[in-house]
Chains A and B, each alone.
Chain A
């Protein structure tokens, strides 16, 4: 509600801003990046007991901070629920939204924001109790399903059951926490959300081993960061931060070897790391922007493995998120 009120106040009272509001300049002057993050989803955005945020989306914001402010710690993370996230971005409370958000046409066009790319290709799945002996989502006819409000998940769920001529009862909650708790208490037969989150949420159930994730993936969920509409420069910075993370992985530049790579003769690496050309300056940053990102945060693959892959408790397979030349669909335009 606070965020809605903020947007309301902004829409009504803010002086009409120049369409190309200078977010990049504001962030540099402020010295911190305001990043809208999840806050409750292990692997994507979650603060630990000491208040240190970790996650794939968190790393993405840290990469922007490294590129713009030369310090991945200069990020203020604002935890947002699915319901409030767009309003927080629209109202200017955050500079960038990196909160496992599905890119759809209506969100891109009518909410006043722009998606900058896809940092995780996901799809919607279901978790059920093993005791139900359900092996497929198609056997869920008549089930009660817990779901988080204000998500594409809520809509896909209705679509999926409608298109398969099945009945269900959805029970919606404002936050994923409440939905998972209700599922765990037996209020629903199944809980549905993006598959990546299912792995994370399952670990929080009382007895994770009593639950299984069904094989069906019922939707395309390209998750990506978003910025406000109308500031092309900032849009470019955020978009190219993601591409830089991917290009670095593709060229085998990682946090450990980046200093040696600066001496590389490979023209692609030279352009990426700014030893040749002025591509960073074209973005409004400095030549060595990618060096800073990779040194301080790592490349996409490092971030993936550390947060959701084999180096994490989630142990999610890279799957679709492998690079295009390794059997996946992560593909970034070149720096040149």
Chain B
């Protein structure tokens, strides 16, 4: 039979323009050229239009003096000395702060609610169900406005602040906490903390290996706590508590000094975390339900308690289903943080595409930069989650 195949004549030669490979290559190159021309045309057209309309263009504005104030700045910033570029970084850091903390709280809250919804406790399960159905069906902007007004309206006026021994103040301007400033000898505490973290990691690895070898478990959680919290605390007390707390001072109008947490920030963080948690809860529930019932029964028949069953058998398998949609929720939360505009929190969009765009009038540049930044944040988040997904994915042998 094989001889037949060998003697068969080669396929008839086709004309070049009829060759499917050549054709598809030509089409693809052609499409690329057309897209390239469109992009080039659009860009040169934009430049020409801006020039004709006498609208300033280019990135020269980046180093110009900003001249406006920002209410929350994580890096030094002042209206007289700082540039639009600096204002950009201030806005970006504010965005990252609220997005990072939002992701943290939304994840914790989402997991708790998602697991609760599957609980055998009727009340807990119904309460979690209620939460999810209410929160995810109301527009986020409405919720943000609700939280902002709830925060502002329920808290007392600055002159009637709640206060904790003159060190902590809470009022409708925000939460004011004492500001810790390190004295001499605080370096040792930091060294102890770093050493503690390294020791804790080493202990974990050792305990893991020993368990694999001998099956004996070590009290990892307690040892970690002792090394990371206990050791630095001991050093701190031994060094004579070298930390000075600057209490906030009530002035004529405002409270100054200390650490200030703005109500805009709190409202945005609450709104984003609570809203996104509802979606994460559903993702978690879907993931848990995807683990077959047999896995739980097998764990029980091996004598595992419900808690270790959840932690060691169900969740690791559920993570495979959870991680990809969880990434979506993280990206959504970051992008939704731009609604800060509505409640006056100085995030990137409020500061940069708001004030800077309006003061410089350079919409094209400012919007392009902002889009690139969000793209970069989203792709980075996505990359990190993909790496994590690879780690928890099913290893096929």
Contacts and interface: CB of A to CB of B under 8 A. Distances in A.
A170 B357 contact: no
Interface stretch (B132-140, B249-257, B303-311, B377-385): B249-257
A12 B365 CA distance: 12
Interface in B154-190: 157-158, 172-173
B52 A159 contact: no
B45 A14 contact: yes
A87 B344 contact: no
B263 interface: yes
15 contacts: A4-B363, A86-B361, A90-B363, A110-B54, A110-B360, A112-B50, A132-B253, A149-B358, A158-B80, A170-B68, A170-B71, A171-B264, A174-B341, A187-B152, A189-B253
Given A111-B55, A185-B152, A8 B346 contact: no
Interface stretch (B198-206, B229-237, B281-289, B347-355): B347-355
Interface stretch (A49-57, A65-73, A139-147, A277-285): A139-147
B52 A17 contact: yes
A155 interface: yes
B358 A112 contact: no
A171 B158 CA distance: 15
Residue in A15, A155, A168, A171 whose Cβ sees the most chain B Cβ within 10 Å? A171
A40 to B, nearest CB: 15
A159 B79 CA distance: 8
A263 interface: no
Residue in A11, A16, A107, A229 whose Cβ sees the most chain B Cβ within 10 Å? A11
Residue in B172, B350, B354 whose Cβ sees the most chain A Cβ within 10 Å? B354
Given A90-B53, A111-B55, A172 B346 contact: yes
Contacts of A157: 69
Contacts of B252: 141-142
Interface in B245-292: 251-254, 256, 263-264
A187 B346 contact: no
A185 B341 CA distance: 18
Given A12-B43, A150-B354, 4 more contacts: A11-B50, A87-B357, A172-B346, A172-B350
Given A7-B363, A107-B361, A162-B80, A13 B54 contact: no
A217 interface: no
Contacts of B342: 174, 178
B153 to A, nearest CB: 6
A292 interface: no
Interface in A224-238: 228-230
Interface in B328-371: 341-344, 346, 350, 353-355, 357-361, 363-364, 367
Nearest to A133: B252
Nearest to B349: A1
A164 B342 CA distance: 31
B67 interface: yes
B254 A11 contact: no
Given A87-B363, A112-B54, A186-B157, A150 B49 contact: no
Contacts of B363: 4, 7-8, 11, 87, 90
Nearest to A144: B254
A154 B354 CA distance: 12
B48 interface: yes
B361 A158 contact: no
Contacts of A14: 45, 49
A189 B361 CA distance: 31
Contacts, number: 154
A321 to B, nearest CB: 26
Interface string A89-112: 010000000000000001101111
Contacts of A112: 50, 53-55, 361
Contacts of B360: 110
A82 interface: yes
A150 B46 contact: no
Sorted from nearest, which 10 A-B pairs have the closest CB atoms? Answer: A150-B358, A112-B55, A158-B79, A111-B361, A112-B53, A110-B56, A143-B253, A170-B69, A185-B152, A11-B46
Contacts of A107: 361
Residue in A4, A109, A187, A229 whose Cβ sees the most chain B Cβ within 10 Å? A187
B149 interface: yes
Contact of A8 (B71, B251, B358, B364): B364
A244 to B, nearest CB: 27
Interface of B: 42-43, 45-46, 48-50, 52-56, 67-71, 79-80, 149, 152-153, 157-158, 172-173, 251-254, 256, 263-264, 341-344, 346, 350, 353-355, 357-361, 363-364, 367
A10 interface: yes
A186 B152 contact: yes
Nearest to B256: A142
Contact of B172 (A19, A149, A187, A228): A187
Contacts of A12: 42-43, 45-46, 364
B170 to A, nearest CB: 13
A165 B165 CA distance: 32
Contacts of B157: 186
B68 A154 contact: yes
B161 to A, nearest CB: 11
A83 interface: yes
Contacts of A316: none
A25 interface: no
A107 B357 CA distance: 12
Given A110-B55, A142-B254, A83 B358 contact: yes
B70 to A, nearest CB: 8
Interface string A199-235: 0000000000000000000000000000011100000
Given A174-B350, A186-B172, A10 B49 contact: yes
Contacts of A13: 42, 45
Nearest to B81: A162
Contacts of B49: 10-11, 14, 16-17
A182 interface: yes
B42 A110 contact: no
Contacts of B79: 158-159, 162
A331 interface: no
A1 B102 CA distance: 24
